[in-house]
Amino acid sequence: MLRIAVLATAVLVLTACGGSKTSDAQRAVEQVNAGTAPFFLQEFVEKSGPVASCHIAPRPNREGEMMLAVITESNDWLQGTIDLDRPLLGHDITTGGNLDPESLATLTAQGDRCVVSPEYGTVSLD
């Protein structure tokens, strides 16, 4: 009986630990959609074309911050720094073009996949 209780407790602890990463990604999505970022995302997709890749990943060495990385089929990119306690605003977003293959591979390998609504510019987890 003691083994079952210990096993059940371990499962709960592991579930809670695994849920933290997902909850941070979900909080990041909420902060993206709560700020002015959807306007910039919608404009970016209209100008640059369909999204090829969207990821939300923790920022290295920056507790409480995550990064939104959106790459279009035309190889243009949009990057936003997300503070998990504040909505993402336009001044926290940068864009560019012609992303090099190494950077592209790094961005697509990190974090949680997301989807950008071309009509509204909102983000959701994939």
DSSP character string of 92-116: GEEEES---HHHHHHHHHSSEEEEE
**Which tokens in the block code for residue 63?**
């507790």
Which range of residues forms the domain containing residue 54? 22-125
Residue 9 included in any domain: no
Whole-number percent of the chain with pLDDT over 70: 83
Distance in angstroms (rounded) separating the CA atoms of residues 103 and 121: 24
pTM higher than 0.85: no
| pLDDT surpassing 80 at residue 88 | yes
Longest CA pairwise span in the chain (Å): 62
pLDDT of residue 22: 61
Number of domains in the chain: 1
